[in-house]
Amino acid sequence: MQRIGVFICWCGSNIGGVVDVPAVAREAAKFHGVVYSAEYKYMCSEPGQEMIVSAIKEHRLTGVVVASCSPTLHEITFRKNIARAGLNPYMLEMANIREQCSWVHQHEPEKATKKAIELVRRAVAKAGKLEPLFESAIPVTKRALIIGGGIAGIQAALDIADAGNEVVIVEREPTIGGKMVLLDKTFPTLDCSACISTPKMVSAAQHPNIKIYTYAEVEEVKGYIGNFSVVVKQKARSVNSNCTGCGACWAKCPTKNIPNEFDLGMSMRKAIYVPFPQAVPNRPVIDRERCRQFVKGKCGVCKKFCPTDAIDYEQGDEFITENVGAILAATGYDLIDWTKIYGEYGYGKYPDVVTGLHFERMVNASGPTGGKILRPSDGEQPKTVVFIKCVGSRDEAKAKEYCSRACCMYTAKHAHQVLEKIPGSQVVIFYIDVRCAGKAYEEFYLKTLHEGAIYTRGRVSKIYPEGNHLIVKGADTLLGRPVEVVADLVVLATAMIPSAGSADVARTVGFTVDKDGFFQEAHPKLRPVETNTGGVFLAGVCQGPKDIPDTVAQASAAAAKIIGLLSHSEIAGEPTIACVNEAMCSGCLACRGICPYRAIEPKEIVERLPGKQVTRVVASVNSGLCQGCGACTVACRPGALNLKGFTNEQLLSEVDALCQ
């Protein structure tokens, strides 16, 4: 028989101003199992907590009910509090009579008091069924895996590694660097993107705690927080570690004119190539789909000219297992393929309609035009350049409802660059809103205006060619008139979308994505860099569109969280997880399919029946993976699954109490 103490809090006037707290305490004293009932102005205060400790000792309480605010606020406070008096901390039940009672029923105090009594009755009923729970100790592997070697992944890797932990980066492309190394200058400071990102790439490569896999993918993830086992697929590079990056192979390779992905097809590469001169590692790969040796079975030029015998045509894919304690997803973005969606802009058939990323490559001194802004159609310098914002963003009819956040600023930067590089040029920017929320962003926009960019408020409805030019049909909604611009080059600020394959990463690692495919953070405000899966973190555009400063900030934030996790040799496992009553489990494993954390596995058990032994399958819960969501308990037909702290019996007793 439980001996329950009830403690009702006034929370100053927050509860006491509405609910008749002494009346609730008087009623609570009458509930079954209650041996002590008291009220106090601030139960969470030092004297309030002392009051609970002494009552536990004095009245030999076995369970405690605190009726106050939401458990999110003070459940941990009171758990620690009763533990000081020698009770198991999980022998506490809270009744929320503030957020769910006094605050929402301010104008009906009598009903509020009645409701508070009901809520306390519920809590007492549950307290009567509580059982002591014990936290488990989970060992932590002090290594982190980072998926994606863009600026987010690199920044986080450096932060984590500098704190003394090992880091493994897995990057799909043949080099790390991501999208940032493609860019020319970065807003609002106009510093050279490559100049600030390539040193970080080198630092990562040279860091004794960082191991980098490029041209690799995460194949499989098993385990749980602190104890992940990851299989990395190292795709065959066809070039082994003898390579010094001398460049003889790609200089001699006879297969030319393959569109270079790094320049978005605006320049050509060989079949054996490094994506760009500052690539890390500076080791080429062979594009086996294009290489003559692989396509036709004969060539061997690169092998012949390699001075270090690094070319290995026989090399196969390799699978390596890495054990880590934390995982950071930083898989970045792609730009939406507008050519499939926007017929009114020509479905990509006009060569002089390009995306902002094409423009970046063009204006970049190491890009395909050596930094000159030229029309792809005829290589001429454009005089009138039109920028169209929100192509694919803010357009739920054709593409995405959301704002891609970085476009307003990079378009302002592009406008500046056109006006700076092409004397006498004209820039027209079609916009819906100019969004410059960021340090020194508004100032940058104003500078662009001052330099002569013509901002026109209206969306473009159609682009079509006329002679050597493009006619851009837009509107000036501020004047209420249609606008037509005779343009030489049109640059589209296309929407950012999660990078190709990011859904597979989410599936492989085991966390959720939002409606647009971006990785879902645990809480949009309070847990922005964590997923709902323990030990898995997020950074960069894979979580939602953002610019470089925000990406780097988020990467360091995620790194801090990971460093925090890895600073422990053991972490406490929450005891409020699912458990299986093996005697009742039928082994149907309906729970396995429903578990979002892949925490349920089949297990064989041996049962002794009279005269024989029977082997059968039952469900088993991995305590490291289980997050205590309770989905499995609902799916379990025989009722064999129970969530500790929220057992079927406990919940039913609450329902009974409320239905009295």
Q: Residue numbers of the site for other proteins (CB under 8 A)?
A: 342-344, 347, 349, 390, 394-398, 432, 457-462, 464-467, 473-477, 480-483
- Residue 515's contacts (CB-CB under 8 Å, 6 or more residues apart) are none
For other proteins, the closer of residues 177 and 474 by Cβ is 474
Query: Minimal distance in Å, beta carbon 462 to other proteins?
Result: 6
Q: How far is the CB of 469 from other proteins (least distance, A)?
A: 11
Residue 250 · residue 165 · CB < 8 Å: no
Q: How far apart are CA 289 and CA 287, in angstroms?
A: 6
Min CB(416)–other proteins separation in Å: 24
- Residue whose CB is less far from other proteins, 320 or 471: 471
Separation of CA 407 from chain center? 21
Distance CA 538, CA 612 (A): 52
Residue 571 CA from chain centroid, whole number: 23
Enter the tokens of residue 273: 């190539």
With CA atoms as reference, report the closest residue to 180 among 56, 69, 330: 330
- Nearest distance, CB of residue 434 and other proteins, angstroms: 13
Tell me the two tokens of residue 232: 């990395």
Helix (H, G, I), strand (E, B) or coil at 219: strand
C-beta of residue 367 within 8 angstroms of C-beta of residue 358: no
Measured in whole angstroms, how far is the alpha carbon of residue 522 from the centre of its chain? 9
| Among 107, 71, 113, 106, CA closest to 89 | 71
Nearest residue (CB) to other proteins, 275 versus 458: 458
Please give the DSSP secondary-structure letter assigned to residue 276: S
User: Structure tokens of 302?
Assistant: 């690169």
Minimum distance from CB of 425 to other proteins (Å)? Answer: 23
Write down the least CB distance from residue 502 to other proteins, Å: 25
Residue 398 C-beta: closest distance to other proteins, Å: 7
Q: CB nearer to other proteins: give 475 or 643.
A: 475
Q: What angle do CA 556, 560, 565 make, to 5 degrees?
A: 145
Q: Are strands 143-147 and 166-170 parallel, antiparallel or unpaired?
A: parallel
Nearer to other proteins, 55 or 403 (CB): 403
Helix (H) or strand (E) holding 384, with range, is strand 384-391
CB of 483 to other proteins, least distance (A): 7
Q: Which is nearer to other proteins, 221 or 408 (CB)?
A: 408
CB 345 to other proteins: min, Å: 9
Nearer to other proteins by C-beta: 46 or 466? 466
Beta bridge partner(s), residue 283: none
Which residues are CB-neighbours of 45 under 8 A, at least 6 positions away? none
465 vs 587, beta carbon nearer other proteins? 465
Q: How far is the CB of 479 from other proteins (least distance, A)?
A: 9
For residues 380 and 488, is the Cβ–Cβ distance under 8 A?
yes
State the virtual CA torsion across 293, 299, 300, 305 in degrees, nearest 10.
-130
**Whole-number minimum distance, CB 334 to other proteins, in Å?**
21
Question: Minimum CB separation from other proteins for residue 178, in Å?
Answer: 29
Nearer to other proteins, 431 or 537 (CB): 431
Nearest CB to other proteins, comparing residues 465 and 645: 465
Q: Do strands 426-431 and 496-498 pair parallel, antiparallel, or not at all (unpaired)?
A: unpaired
The secondary structure of residue 635, as a DSSP letter, is: H
Which residues, other chains included, contact 652 with Cβ-Cβ below 8 Å and sequence gap of 6+?
Answer: none
CA 156/CA 134 separation, integer angstroms: 34
State which residue, 290 or 473, has the beta carbon closest to other proteins: 473
- With respect to other proteins, which residue has the nearer C-beta, 431 or 445? 431
Q: Is residue 484 a contact partner of residue 194, using CB atoms and an 8 Å limit?
A: no
- Judge residue 123's burial from the number of C-beta atoms within 10 Å of its C-beta, 0-12 exposed, 13-18 middle, 19 or more buried: buried
